[in-house]
Amino acid sequence: MKAFLVGAGPGDPGLLTLKGRDVLAMADAVVYDALASPTLLEYARPDAELIYVGKIAGEHALPQDEINALLVRLAKEGKTVARLKGGDPYIFGRGGEEALALLDAGVPFEEVPGVSSAIAAPAYAGIPLTHRGLASSVTIITGHESADKSASEHNWKALATGASTLVFVMGMKNLPDIAHNLIRAGLAPDMPAAAIYRGTTSGQRSLLSTLAELPQAAEKAHFSNPAVIVVGKAAALRDKLNWFERKPLFGKSVVVTRAREQASSLARLLEEMGAEVIQFPTIEIRPLADYAKLDAALAGLSGYNWLVFTSANGVRHFWRRLEKSEKDGRALAACKIAAIGPATAQALAARGILADFVPGRYVAESVAEGLRHAGPLSGAHILLPRAARARDVLPDELAAAGANVTVVPCYETVPADSRKDEVQKRIEAGTLSCVTFGSSSTVLNFLARISPELLRAHPETRLAAIGPVTAQTLRDHGLDCHIQPEEYTIPALARVLESELPCL
């Protein structure tokens, strides 16, 4: 029985602390807020109970006293509870109230600090809260005082004269009053002031103005909460140091349709470029129910001349079964090894195996052509471990060259549950920049959920394919492939998106 009050950070999931991640991974129940990135829930155990208690303006899933009672009840059921709160629990997060409720109920607890939006949002907008010669002190103030107060508790005179930088959290509704009170208390109307909306997320927007003009500028730009307001000379550095909003894919939204266990590399590259990544796994990679064919092939590895891998998934699942049969890479000593591309070759290299052949073009047709040039295939025995359902081009071409080809399934792909409604609404609204496809199966499974007619009606949503086979699958369904890298790899796909999407 224990509760952890975990700061989720301001929005960028990369700002979660290592301890916060570890708590999520061991928790029996996760009670989370609206401002906590949904990506963080992926750190939770698959069997963990996930309970949403978000509070946004005008809509509270649960009042605070009921949240307190929920935490106590879950802990007293003997569960380890992770209370995931946006920013830092103890900075305008009501974490102190929850800690006192747990204490009063005899529930042991820990507070796991998080990165506060008061610090992170200005940093992502290029505003250092302290800077030599400009700012030597910071005051963090709530911009959303309790409605039941008869008058403001802020000492406006002290705020106007007592700190170099003022940071108001969640103050957009009261911004005119904030500016008025500060100016009346003696702060110069032309003092630099900035507003940052949804700081550290792909939806971040920021603007720089003066204290007197910021309310009108923010209203004109349609700023609302969640937002941070910064007042002080250091705010003027925003135009020079605004690194985040200058990333090449900032403001672009990209759907990644790869299976979840494959998606991380592309998602990470795109996020590093500033894109909003929507993971929409259309397929799920699963182990087989029956490994009889693969086990028989593993028992007779010494009889094969070539072992051909067509994906990193094939390598991973083949290797798991190899190890289960109490063998290792030495069992492949009699075989030459071919990999369809560098990612597959890298998966082999990670297991101590250097591919004897990797084609210049990373498609099945090039593998067959290359193996023909590597030596006579007539009478050669070739083992091809792959997905349970895949194209027959490679085995057919190898067989046509006289090879004896044994195709064995080592994993299967099945349609996956996905964020269909969200993606469909984004396409209809014209706010989705691109959908990426890493294989023909991702195209087919995506189109089973999102109709080709909808995509044709919204050409502003670009379609990107990793290679010509995947691109042809799009064309077979009457869709244009707008983006395709010359090299059929994930890094190349990310690079071509960087060059193509900003031109929209």
End-to-end CA distance of the chain: 53
One domain, residues 84 and 172: no
pLDDT at 211: 98
pLDDT at 262: 56
Spatial contact of 114 and 40, defined as CB atoms under 8 Å apart: no
More confident of the two residues 416 and 287 = 287
Q: Of 89, 115, 141, which closes a domain?
A: 115
Position 417 pLDDT exceeds 70: no
Its pTM surpasses 0.85:
no
One domain, residues 10 and 158: no
Position 118 pLDDT exceeds 50: yes
Residue 54, number of CB atoms within 10 A of its CB: 14
Q: Would you call the peptide bond into 226 cis, given omega within 30 degrees of 0 as the criterion?
A: yes
pLDDT at 501: 85
pLDDT at 341: 84
Residue 357, number of CB atoms within 10 A of its CB: 17
Q: Of 115, 134, 162, which closes a domain?
A: 115
Q: Is 220 exposed, middle or buried (0-12, 13-18, 19+ CB in 10 A)?
A: exposed
Structure tokens at 72: 């106590």
CATH label of the domain that carries residue 69: 3.40.1010.10
Spatial contact of 335 and 306, defined as CB atoms under 8 Å apart: yes
One domain, residues 488 and 372: no
Structure tokens at 347: 């998966």
pLDDT tens for each residue of 163-182 = 899 999 999 999 999 999 99
- State the chain's mean pLDDT as an integer: 90
pLDDT at 227: 95
One domain, residues 156 and 88: no
Q: Within a 13 Å sphere around the CA of 462, how many CA atoms are in the beta-carbon half?
A: 18
pLDDT at 279: 85
Position 2 pLDDT exceeds 60: yes
Which of 33, 85, 88, 336 is labelled catalytic? 33
Q: Of 347, 378, 413, which closes a domain?
A: 413
> How far is residue 460's CA from residue 480's CA, in Å, rounded to a whole number?
12
Spatial contact of 55 and 34, defined as CB atoms under 8 Å apart: yes
Spatial contact of 345 and 358, defined as CB atoms under 8 Å apart: yes
> How far is residue 234's CA from residue 134's CA, in Å, rounded to a whole number?
6
Residue 454, number of CB atoms within 10 A of its CB: 14
One domain, residues 444 and 428: yes
Closest CA to 81 of 65, 57, 66, 102: 102
Longest dimension (CA), the chain: 92
One domain, residues 137 and 91: no
CATH label of the domain that carries residue 456: 3.40.50.10090
pLDDT at 451: 94
pLDDT tens for each residue of 24-67 = 999 999 999 987 777 898 899 888 999 999 876 555 578 999 99
More confident of the two residues 59 and 371 = 371
> How far is residue 21's CA from residue 193's CA, in Å, rounded to a whole number?
35
Strands 109-112 and 192-197, bridge-based pairing = unpaired
Position 264 pLDDT exceeds 80: no
- Secondary structure class of 451 (helix, strand, coil): coil
One domain, residues 128 and 212: yes
Q: Tell me the one-letter amino acid at 214.
A: L
- Of the ranges 142-156, 206-220, 292-306, 436-450, which one carries the lowest mean pLDDT score? 142-156
> How far is residue 365's CA from residue 340's CA, in Å, rounded to a whole number?
10
Q: What is the DSSP letter of 213?
A: T
Instruction: Write the Ramachandran bin of 183: left for phi over 0, alpha for psi from -120 to 50, otherwise beta.
Output: alpha
CA 420 → CA 7, 235, 252, 279, 307, distances in Å? 29, 41, 19, 11, 38
For residue 429, give its domain range: 253-282+416-503
> How far is residue 140's CA from residue 119's CA, in Å, rounded to a whole number?
9
Catalytic site residue 33?
yes
One domain, residues 230 and 292: no
pLDDT at 504: 40
One domain, residues 106 and 39: yes
Strand blocks (E) in 105-198:
109-112, 138-142, 165-169, 192-197
Q: Is 186 exposed, middle or buried (0-12, 13-18, 19+ CB in 10 A)?
A: exposed
Spatial contact of 188 and 211, defined as CB atoms under 8 Å apart: yes
More confident of the two residues 34 and 68 = 68
What average pLDDT does this structure show over 147-156? 73
pLDDT at 203: 87
Spatial contact of 367 and 340, defined as CB atoms under 8 Å apart: yes
> How far is residue 368's CA from residue 122's CA, in Å, rounded to a whole number?
55
pLDDT at 59: 56
* Phi, psi values for residue 498, rounded to 5°: -60, -40
Strand partners, 435: 255, 463
Task: Estimate the crossing angle of helix 260-272 against helix 490-500, to 10 degrees.
Answer: 40
pLDDT band of 413, cuts 50, 70, 90: confident
pLDDT band of 503, cuts 50, 70, 90: very low
Percent of the residues in the chain that have a pLDDT greater than 90, as a whole number: 68
One domain, residues 94 and 188: no
> How far is residue 21's CA from residue 45's CA, in Å, rounded to a whole number?
11
What average pLDDT does this structure show over 325-344? 90
What average pLDDT does this structure show over 307-323? 92
CATH label of the domain that carries residue 175: 3.30.950.10
Which of 2, 22, 28, 55 is labelled catalytic? 55
Strand partners, 5: 83, 111
Position 277 pLDDT exceeds 60: yes
Closest CA to 201 of 142, 282, 269, 120: 120
Strand partners, 338: 308, 357
One domain, residues 11 and 106: yes
> How far is residue 380's CA from residue 300's CA, in Å, rounded to a whole number?
15
Percent of the residues in the chain that have a pLDDT greater than 70, as a whole number: 94
pLDDT band of 200, cuts 50, 70, 90: very high
Spatial contact of 89 and 6, defined as CB atoms under 8 Å apart: yes
pLDDT band of 365, cuts 50, 70, 90: low
pLDDT at 149: 58
Residue 217, number of CB atoms within 10 A of its CB: 17
What average pLDDT does this structure show over 92-101? 95
Number of domains in the chain: 4
pLDDT tens for each residue of 437-493 = 988 888 988 999 999 999 999 999 999 999 998 999 999 999 999 999 998 888 899
What average pLDDT does this structure show over 68-83? 96
Position 234 pLDDT exceeds 60: yes
Catalytic site residue 55?
yes
One domain, residues 178 and 324: no
